[in-house]
Structure 1
Amino acid sequence: MIRIDVLERAILGPWLQLTLRWPGELPAPAPGQCLRSADGTPIWPMRPPQAGRLSVLASSCQAGATLDLSGIEGNALPAPEGETLLLAEGLGLAPLIHLCELARGSGRRLLALYEAADTLPFRPRPSRFMVEGAPHGVIAAIPLLEDWGIPSRLASHTDLPGCHEGGLDALLERLPAPSGAMILAMGSPAFIARLAAIAPRLIPLDIEA
């Protein structure tokens, strides 16, 4: 068991965002890997450790001034190569952002699509990037990815402004077939199954809440 200091905490939509003190002697979690708290909660890193700090996202966990972790679990997702389509829902937002940060500025062509449930954990921004095939009016984007120059689009079942009304599977069917692109999907088994029916070559990451 490893005891880690909790430096900051914030509510991010339905989730808890923590900033942890990450000692330099500990390995950096790779995108797709999670931390496991003492109460069994999976905690998903959002970005690589920076200056001894690690930003993570969890549905909930017993965190006070410190957090007890049992270690790093899971297999790392492959790094984006060439043209890459990133698909995520729920807490899959964390590895999606993690992957984008590692790949930004690399010249790789990324497109991130995110499916929200009831609310979004951020305030969407109208995108400055065109996405071929996106329905008219579907312009809402993840603001952090806009800052990084990575196009994104959002889908929601609750008719949020600027978002595609429905699931990512319906939005994906409107876009040109991603022939030859790497496809990474991060979410629940049901979410991954819906997308695999359209994109059977996708690489899945089952996200525990």
Structure 2
Amino acid sequence: MAAEAGEPGSILVEEARLLANDALPGGHYLLRLAAPGIAARAEPGQFVHLRCGPELPLRRPLSILRASARDGAVELLYKAVGAGTRLLTTRHAGETLSVIGPIGQPFDLDAARPRVIAIGGGVGMPPMLFLAERLRGTAFRPLLLLGSEVAFPFQPRPSTLMLEGMPAAVIAALPLAEDWGVPSRLASGQGFPGCFEGHVTQLADAYLATLDAAALSQTQIAACGPTPMLRAAAAVAARHGLPAQLCLEEHMACGVGGCAGCVVPLATPAGPAMARVCVDGPVFEARAVYPELFAAAG
């Protein structure tokens, strides 16, 4: 059953049936839920707020990895790093979870810039995969760049989609993206075969440095990951004169804008302001989040 929450037609509360909760490499888990109302509305960059178990009243926010209106299913990728997500690993297929979603403002890309560099780090990878899936078959041309300092939650394979300007030794790719025809490359400081040795933002910077002015004028950045990575992604965008949208990660309590526990400072045309990551975001313009980086770049 689904019930409305917040503005009519905006957010749903669903008792979602758990379809799968599979352990993956790197301490990751893939959670698949039957949540048809949320699946039909979800957009890349949005998240759900779910109850991990009856003994833990506070919900946990998880980015949406994939959503299928046809199947009525939502997929979430998470790591067991705290009490909530550790409890979530004990839940089994057939059980139900209370889920609120989809929550937040999704990515809103500029159609005049069809080249999209989608940068995901750690558990910031899911929104980038969701975005790449939604962009395939459109006028946009996504390039998926993913970074991890633990084992990737999927088995990388050598890419068959060659990219001019990409270092020749960097050939590790996300298999699912390859199947879609979406080019992808991986980065890590752990020496994984075929990966760029360093941060994923350094890989993006190196690739963008090979593009000419005409290509850069058609390029924009979308990114999700931990705060230091997002700041680095904004710096890359500023250095190359590109617009960028960042999907922020923040601790949350209510998750629906009531408690204001997830506010961040923004630079707006009207002056400094505070915004709630849950409902005003989680996607914001990089220039608003890190104005000093763009001011320094000129």
After TM superposition, is the score higher than 0.5?
Answer: yes
**1:148, 1:21 → 2: CA distance?**
24
Using CA pairs below 8 Å that are at least 6 residues apart, which structure has the higher relative contact order?
1
Inter-CA distance 108–42: structure 2 relative to 1 (3 Å threshold): same
Are 1:54 and 2:91 an aligned pair?
Answer: no
Uncovered stretches (5+) of structure 2, i.e. residues with no partner: 1-12, 52-57, 252-298
Superposition TM-score, scaled by structure 2 size: 0.65
Deviation, structure 1 residue 166: 0.4
| Superposition pairs of residues 192-203 of structure 1, within 5 angstroms | 192-200=230-238, 201-203=243-245
1:190 is matched with: 228
C-alpha contact 2:65 2:126 (8 A) present in aligned 1: yes
Question: TM-score with structure 1 length normalisation?
Answer: 0.90
Whichever of the two has the greater Rg, that structure is 2
More helix by share: 2
Contact conserved, 1:90 with 1:115, CA < 8 A, in 2?
yes
The reply on whether 1:77 has 2:107 as its aligned counterpart is yes
Instruction: State the aligned residue count.
Output: 209
What's the secondary structure of 2:181's corresponding residue? coil
* Deviation by residue 1:40-75 (Cα, 9 ceiling, x = unmatched): 321222122232222222234344311122433221
Q: Distance in 2 between matches of 1:30 and 1:16?
A: 21
1:173 positional shift: 2.7
- 1:207 maps to 249
Structure 1 residue 193, shift from structure 2 partner = 0.6
**Deviation, structure 1 residue 97:** 1.4
> Residues 123 and 143 of structure 1 are in contact (CA less than 8 Å); yes or no, is this contact kept in structure 2?
yes
* 2:233 partner letter: L
Find the aligned partners of 1:139 and 1:112 in 2 and give their Cα distance.
13
Identical amino acids, percent of aligned pairs: 32
